[in-house]
Structure 1
């Protein structure tokens, strides 16, 4: 698979305007979400994992009881790429 190009800071800022649950910059995107229970958090991880496997693009996920901390970055690009934006959109479709 070809290495995705890193997006410019301006491109990332513009994209974040359409992703209100996310924050970050050209170095990475971040989202924190609190689910109703630990089991709900784990179920969300499984749903995210299915999308990530389909895309062959994997987020960093930290679970603390019922809170998920998500980070998206294309390590091969050295920052945020279009893959991260697409994964953020797909995660948003899964989470409240």
Structure 2
């Protein structure tokens, strides 16, 4: 089943409830910073659990004491409610 793209208005409302997330093109993006490299890796493992539960998997860039998360629904060609849901779940981690 194809997911519906969110309107610009809906995205702006969603962003109000997702502090530090930004829209970059067709993606929701956020950088998380940590006190150590291993803390970032532990965070990635926790994100993986959330992603598997929703069967929706972000692109992750792991660096020294930081993790950049990029969300989009590739099959829809942009942002859907699934991306907003996962962003909220990741923020709660």
Same fold (TM over 0.5): yes
Deviations 1:58-92 (A, max 9, x none): 00100111111111000111100000000001001
* Structure 1 unaligned blocks of 5 or more: none
Q: Pick which of 3-12 and 42-51 moved more.
A: 3-12
The 3-state SS of whatever aligns with 1:75 is coil
Aligned to 1:85: 84
Q: Distance in 2 between matches of 1:20 and 1:32?
A: 11
* Structure 2 unaligned blocks of 5 or more: none
The 3-state SS of whatever aligns with 2:17 is coil
Note if contact 1:7-1:26 (Cα within 8 Å) is conserved in structure 2: no
In the TM superposition, 1:1-96 aligns within 5 A as: 2-24=1-23, 27-94=26-93
Moved over 4 A (4+): none
Q: Distance in 1 between matches of 2:30 and 2:24?
A: 12
Q: Distance in 2 between matches of 1:4 and 1:81?
A: 7
Aligned length: 93
TM-score when normalising by structure 2: 0.95
User: What is the CA RMSD across the aligned residues, in angstroms?
Assistant: 1.1
TM-score when normalising by structure 1: 0.92
